[in-house]
Amino acid sequence: MNDIVNAPTTFQQAYVFDMDGTIYLGDHLLPGAKRMIEELRRREIPVRFLSNNPTKDPHQYVEKLARLGLPTEVSDISNTVVTTTNWLRANHPDATVFAISEEPLKRSLREAGIRLSEDPTEIDIVVASYDRQFDYRKLQIAFDAIWFHKRAFLVQTNPDRFCPFPGGRGEPDCAAITAAIEACTGTTCQVNLGKPSPVMLTAALEGLDVAVEDCVMVGDRLQTDIQMALDTGMGSACVLTGEATADDVAALDRAHRPTWVLDRIDRLIPASVWDELGWSDDDQ
C-alpha cells in the first residue's frame, strides 16, 4: 500500500467532500475528520459537502453533522435531492413524475411544484432512486408507464450499486432499481443526476468564486467521486476508509488514478502543518 498512498504538500483553494465513507461511517466520524474540517475552516478555506444519497435532504445532513460535532450551514451541503429537483424544475417543470424514492425527495419535488403521480397513463418521467420500500407494485407502475403506455422515460438520482455500512456491510442502492426497470422495459436510463455527473459539481461549487482546477474532490468511491473529478479537471483525493481499497487504485492505469490517495482523511492537511500543530495518528 505504501507505494500507492500519497498526500498533498500544500492547501487547495476549496474542498468538496463526499460524506458516507469519507467523513463518517454510520453514526461515527472517521478518524481525523473533525480536526481536519476545523483546521480548514480556521484558515477560511471553503468546505462543501456532497452526497449521492437521496434518502436525506440537506437539512437532515445539517442535523447529522451537528450531532457528530461538525456544525454546518445548509448552503454548504448538496445532494441528489437537490440536483434532481433542480434538474426537473429547469428542464421539465410541467412533467408528471413517478418518483421511486423515499420521502425526502418526494417532499422536495412537491415543494418545487413538480406534480407526482402513480397513474401510468399520465406519467412522463420515472425517477429511480435509493428506495428501501421498493416493491413489485412500484416496478409495475414504472413498467406500465414506460413499456405499455410508451409515454415515460427513465432518469436516476445516482448510479451507486450499494450504500456502505459499518462493518463492511451495505444496502442495494439506486443502480439496482434502475437495472430492474431497464431489464423489464428494455429502456435505458437517459439521465444520471448524481456523481459522476457534472451537475453535482455545479451544485457543490455554487456561490464560490474558485476555478474547478483549484478545488479538490475528496471521496471513497473511484467510479463516482474520483471519476467526477477526472471528468471535470478537478484534483481528487481518494480516502481508503470506505469502498475503494489500495488494490483497487493500483489496478487503475496512472491516467485514471486520483491525484492523492489517503489512508485517513486528515492527511489532506500537509505534513508540515501536522508538525506545527503537534498532530499524531493517535489523535482524533
Mind giving me the DSSP string for the chain? -TTT-B--SS--SEEEEE-BTTTEETTEEPTTHHHHHHHHHHTT--EEEEE--TTS-HHHHHHHHHHTT----GGGEEEHHHHHHHHHHHH-TT-EEEEES-HHHHHHHHHTT-EE---TTT--EEEE---TT--HHHHHHHHIIIIIS---EEEES---SEEE-GGG-EEE-HHHHHHHHHHHH-----EE-STTSHHHHHHHTTT----GGGEEEEES-IIIIIHHHHHHT-EEEEETTSS--HHHHHTS-GGGS-SEEESSGGGGS-HHHHHHHT--TT--
Residue range 107-162, pLDDT digits in tens: 999 999 999 999 999 999 999 999 999 999 999 999 999 999 999 999 999 999 98
Q: How confident is the model at residue 284 (pLDDT cuts 50, 70, 90)?
A: low
Residue range 166-219, pLDDT digits in tens: 777 889 999 999 999 999 999 999 999 999 999 998 888 988 989 999 999 999
What value does the mean pLDDT take over residues 58-75?
96
The pTM score is 0.89
List of domains in the chain: 14-52+196-277 (3.40.50.1000), 81-192 (3.40.50.1000)
